[in-house]
């Protein structure tokens, strides 16, 4: 059974999904998805684990406070969330920006995180050969979203079209049904969602400096890097290797930026095997 909670941490409140019983696993989504990205994995992992899947600060059904959205601060949210839920040591899985938050959390709380899975994320400050990324994956959006004012000027009033374009370019074929798109639009078309989403990109310099510091004392826990062959592919592993010393990588065939949604059975098997 899935529980939906609202947990107040620091200066915000996080919508959080909890299911199952056993060794805890925390799942962190990216942009532009929500905890719902993990909907297929949660019942599988919940057979043996307590699964905690929050909406990150400002996204999904979590509150959207003003301010910066650096990944170190977002990681502090999740650390406090696990403390409030009286969760000790846990495995941590992050997709997209959730992967950056996961790496920041693992670096700041090395005693808390037992294993780390990074799905389809390239860490700021950890550059990779562009040829490692699929040619199908868009290269324009990171810089565009980070520019002050211009994205707001061009996207406002066309948020649905902007999101639809991004999903179509980053997925393999058509990864989302209409009902899934409607669930994501339910939260991403609400007041403040555009501001927050762009803020995630605009913290890039701060996030890069954080990762450069982590690289000086690399993570020693086991890390699994998962890429889609039509997404970030082997670049995920190449990026994560710059801040961690024990990294294995897997590339999922016929897959874009959303492995847990496009190939849930395969990804669930990979994660279960890694956690065990």
Q: Is 271 helix (H, G, I), strand (E, B) or coil?
A: helix
Distances (CA, A) of 175 to 178, 180, 251, 257, 260: 10, 9, 17, 9, 10
Instruction: Give strand ranges (E) for the chain.
Output: 3-9, 12-20, 23-28, 49-54, 90-95, 113-119, 223-228, 247-252
Q: Is 90 helix (H, G, I), strand (E, B) or coil?
A: strand
- CA 19 to chain centroid, in Å, comes to 19
Q: Give me the catalytic one of 137, 188, 201, 258.
A: 201
- CA neighbor of 164 nearest in space, from 145, 146, 182, 190: 182
CB 81 within 8 A of CB 54: yes
Give yes or no: 257 in active site. yes
Q: Give me the catalytic one of 61, 77, 96, 207.
A: 96
Give yes or no: 96 in active site. yes
Give yes or no: 253 in active site. no
Q: Give me the catalytic one of 49, 109, 145, 257.
A: 257
List the catalytic residues. 96, 201, 257
């Amino acid at each position: 059974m899935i529980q939906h909670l609202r947990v107040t941490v620091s200066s915000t409140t996080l919508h959080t999904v909890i299911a199952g019983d056993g060794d805890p696993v925390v799942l962190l989504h990216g942009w532009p998805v929500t905890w719902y990205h993990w909907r297929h994995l949660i019942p599988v992992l919940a057979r043996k684990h307590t699964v905690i899947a929050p909406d990150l600060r400002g996204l999904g059904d979590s509150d959207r406070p003003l301010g910066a959205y650096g990944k170190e601060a977002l990681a502090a949210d999740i650390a406090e969330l696990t403390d409030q839920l009286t969760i000790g040591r846990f495995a941590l899985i992050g997709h997209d920006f959730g992967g950056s938050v996961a790496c920041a959390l693992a670096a700041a709380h090395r005693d808390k995180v037992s294993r780390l899975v990074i799905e389809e994320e390239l860490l700021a400050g950890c550059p990779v050969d562009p040829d490692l990324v699929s040619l199908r994956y868009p290269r324009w959006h990171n810089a565009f979203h980070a520019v002050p004012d211009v994205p707001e000027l061009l996207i406002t009033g066309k948020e649905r079209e902007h999101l639809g374009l991004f999903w179509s370019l980053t997925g393999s074929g058509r990864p989302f049904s209409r009902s899934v798109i409607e669930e994501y639009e339910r939260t991403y078309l609400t007041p403040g969602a555009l501001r927050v989403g762009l803020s995630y990109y605009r913290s890039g310099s701060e996030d890069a400096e954080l990762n450069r510091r982590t690289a000086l004392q690399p993570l020693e826990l086991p890390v699994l890097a998962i890429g889609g062959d039509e997404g970030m592919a082997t670049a995920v592993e190449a990026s994560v290797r710059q801040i961690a010393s024990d990294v294995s990588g897997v590339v999922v065939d016929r897959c874009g930026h959303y492995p847990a949604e496009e190939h849930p059975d395969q990804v669930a098997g990979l994660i279960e095997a890694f956690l065990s």
